[in-house]
Chain A
Amino acid sequence: GQQLNQSPQSMFIQEGEDVSMNCTSSSIFNTWLWYKQDPGEGPVLLIALYKAGELTSNGRLTAQFGITRKDSFLNISASIPSDVGIYFCAGRPEDDKIIFGKGTRLHILP
């Protein structure tokens, strides 16, 4: 089956630091999505990417659809306490259903 690898699994950073996480796939994807899940809530869409090379920003968040169509990254600049949560990448391979990565757990140290 399709494989989607998300890294890192966890991050511990200081407030104000920039954050970078990525997902790689074993095959070509047509869509990349990035979600955030706050404790006790459902995942909420942050950024959607539909074309190879596409770079999209949402406030302090920036995500890119890799040129090879097998990877995507999400950057968060100048992290703040409310950025804490689990970030999921999701991708749709050609002619297949969307699959989710295992999440990156972002912790901000006091």
Chain B
Amino acid sequence: DTAVSQTPKYLVTQMGNDKSIKCEQNLGHDTMYWYKQDSKKFLKIMFSYNNKELIINETVPNRFSPKSPDKAHLNLHINSLELGDSAVYFCASSQVGGSETQYFGPGTRLLVL
């Protein structure tokens, strides 16, 4: 069974569009994250949610809005997509107070044309 899943795996869209990426984890973890990996493969944290509450919000344009309907889901909505948003977006989860090891999803490859 997949521990952390993301949909879609690939997303190609036009500049200016609004799109969402979904993430679900079945590990029972209480913390979920969104990371952006650029073309140089640098991983940068964007958001972290603990029990549906935002606890980390790095310097990210407010066009990016995470939504956590429950602690097993953390979706990422992006408004007015720009060329520079093209990247791979990874969802991850961990259990705070446990090992705190983060488990990553397979990634969503976003290409903005």
Which residues of A come within 8 Å of B, CB atoms? 31, 33, 35, 37, 40-45, 48, 50, 86, 88, 90, 92, 97-100, 102-103, 105
Report the separation of the CA atoms of residues A41 and B104 in the bound assembly, to the nearest whole angstrom. 9
Report the separation of the CA atoms of residues A37 and B40 in the bound assembly, to the nearest whole angstrom. 13
Which residues of B come within 8 Å of A, CB atoms? 4, 40-45, 48, 56, 90, 92, 99-107
Give the tally of cross-chain contacts (CB within 8 A).
46
Report the separation of the CA atoms of residues A72 and B101 in the bound assembly, to the nearest whole angstrom. 16
By beta carbon, the residue of chain A nearest B55 is A97
Select which of B41, B42, B44, B105 is within 8 A of A42 by beta carbon.
B105
| Chain B residues closer than 8 Å to A92, beta-carbon distance | 100
20 additional A-B pairs beyond A97-B56, A98-B100, A102-B41, beta carbons within 8 Å, are A31-B100, A37-B41, A42-B90, A42-B92, A42-B104, A42-B105, A42-B106, A42-B107, A43-B43, A45-B103, A50-B99, A90-B102, A92-B100, A98-B45, A98-B102, A99-B45, A100-B44, A100-B45, A103-B41, A105-B41
Residue of B40, B44, B45, B104 most packed against chain A (CB within 10 A): B104
Whether the pair B105, A97 counts as a contact (CB closer than 8 A) is: no
Chain A binding surface, main DSSP class:
strand
What are some 10 contacts across the A-B interface (CB < 8 A)?
A33-B101, A40-B107, A44-B104, A45-B101, A45-B103, A50-B99, A97-B45, A98-B100, A100-B43, A102-B40
